[in-house]
Structure 1
Amino acid sequence: MGWLELEGAANARDVGGLPTSDGRTIAERALLRADNLQGLTPTDVKLLVDDLGLRTVVDLRSTREVEAEGPGPLRAVDTVRHVHLSVLPERGEMTDAAADALFTRREKALARYPADPMCALYLGYLEDRPENVVGALRTIADSPSAVLVHCAAGKDRTGVVAALSLTAVGVRREAVVADYAASGTRIEGIMARLRASPTYAPDLEKRGGGNDTHRSREETMDTFLTQVDKRYGGVLAWLDNHGFGAADTARLRAKLVAPA
């Protein structure tokens, strides 16, 4: 994977290079992932658009987040398409800090998987907004050039959509898990940005805990994918049951996997 050292984002990377089970790799400059894009500088925009060929942004934030933050710098670029697909229920004060999404509905969330609250939250994305999860993968498959998926922290909502996309096209489980956990190495920068934001700081204060509380851990993604296997028969079966069939998967694979 290649980190994108942006001036206005803390958790941006290209997932190109991840290995597939058939000996191929994910293409570079095909799928990018990041945290909040509101602070991008002109230099960042040039890197993403001119150098990496970014043409599509998939925004997984809630409507409340999008409205509170306002348009970011990439909104001014005519060649970049923006697709908003929240994976949280559109009610309440919900942000990527997950305070409301997880804790005001704590009993329901924890009932999904009591042993790991974050895994429980991720399973909720699949149960609460399957149409938007599928829509995100379809947008990735249909993008003619580089596509960037982001939320606020770039680790939970983005981590789940990235993991589903990579698993669907055959990336090895250990590589999917490692890509998810890589966000944990950037947690200090991620949390500093969120704590400086009027949109996210209140959620973080309610939730409490230090940076380590929010760190992405390998076992969480491994558990999530295992639960998808047990509950739904695997990622491909879950996708197929929600309208993303073999032809869609083939298009996603053609988009993401480098030629042999």
Structure 2
Amino acid sequence: MTSTRTDRWLRLDGTTNTRDLGGLPTVDGGTTVRGRVLRSDNLQTLSEADVRRLVEELPLREVVDLRTTAEVLLEGRGPLRAVPGVTHRHFSLLPERGQHTDVFAAEEDDAPELPAGWAESILPRQVAEADQDEPPAVRSYLGYLTHRPDNVVAALRALAADPDGATVVHCAAGKDRTGVVCMFALAAAGVPHEEIVADYALTAEVIDALVAKLAASPTYAEDMVTRDVASHTPRAETMTRLLALLDERHGGPLGWLTEHGFGADEQAALRTRLRD
């Protein structure tokens, strides 16, 4: 297994959990390519220097945002929204009330008003009877796959496209929703399970700074202070269990993708995106 290497981190002023999906070994002896797909926590607090570095040096051309509509509007417009050459795509992995499909158009309003209840717009997440005994994080991840398979697949389709530059996929912390989407992307690229697990668990190295950053935002502060840091820390056994369940129930991550309409051709396109 690859050791946790600091050269995959992208050290930015405004994020704490940004890293490249390049540099990971594959089952056929290859390596994923750097500068194609990045994973990150929330991008709202990027500095001007961060934006220049991302857009001019990478160059970043696409943002895949996995947050809910309420999160996007409560957090407000991030600095990358002002960059004409960067496309933003929104795919919430949590069930929401109503049809919030034009979130970025709403964000463009000078003073968007949040309808009552949008902050609590996430519906209670139902857990299948067979999954009741799974750890909480595993249940949450299975919930994404049960309740928003459409957006899991849509996010992967965005990652598979070639925007002639880099794509960054993110949520709030860049560990749970982002971790599940990146798991599928890496599986399509031929990265073995143990390396996918190691990449997922790498967020634990920055969890203190990550929790502190989110606690500074009114959107996330309550959740950060009502639970201890340990409860927010990703554990290798969580992703190991999720992969085991996918293996048992669907023949692996690629089996799940095939069952949900992301077939061999699209899997090959995603693999090509992440490989030479």
Q: Same fold (TM over 0.5)?
A: yes
Say whether the 8 Å CA contact 2:188–2:268 is kept in structure 1.
no
1:132 aligns with 2:138: no
Distance 1:26-1:94 versus aligned 2 partners, 3 A rule: farther
Query: Cα distance, 1:90 vs. partner?
Result: 0.9
User: Could you list the runs of 5+ residues in structure 1 that have no partner in the other structure?
Assistant: none
Structure with max Cα Rg: 2
Displacement of 1:113 after TM fit?
Answer: 4.7
Aligned match of 2:74:
68
The corresponding residue for 1:219 is 237
Q: Tell me how far apart the structure 1 counterparts of residues 94 and 134 of structure 2 sit (CA, whole Å).
A: 21
Whole-angstrom CA distance in 1 between matches of 2:272 and 2:210: 32
Flag the 1:111–1:167 CA change in 2: closer, same or farther, 3 A: same
Q: 1:94 to 1:56 in 2, by over 3 A?
A: farther
Q: Secondary structure at the match of 1:50?
A: helix
Percent of matched pairs sharing the same residue: 51
5+ unaligned residues in a row in structure 2: which ranges?
1-6, 98-117
Deviation of residue 93 (structure 1)?
A: 4.2
Listed as ranges, the matches of 1:24-173 within 5 Å are 24-91=30-97, 93=119, 104-105=124-125, 108=127, 112-144=131-163, 145-173=165-193
Cα RMSD (Å): 1.7
What TM-score do the two structures reach when normalised by structure 1? 0.91
**Of 182, 207, 212, which aligns to 1:192?**
212
1:110–1:117 Cα contact (<8 Å) kept: no
Q: Aligned partners of 1:110 and 1:8: how far apart in 2?
A: 41
User: Separation in 1 of the partners of 2:64 and 2:120?
Assistant: 18
Alpha-carbon distance in 1 for matches of 2:131, 2:162? 33
SS in 2 for 1:202: helix
- The alpha-carbon deviation at position 110 of structure 1 amounts to 8.0
Alpha carbons 1:169, 1:252 under 8 Å: kept: yes
Deviation of 1:182 after TM superposition, in Å, equals 0.3
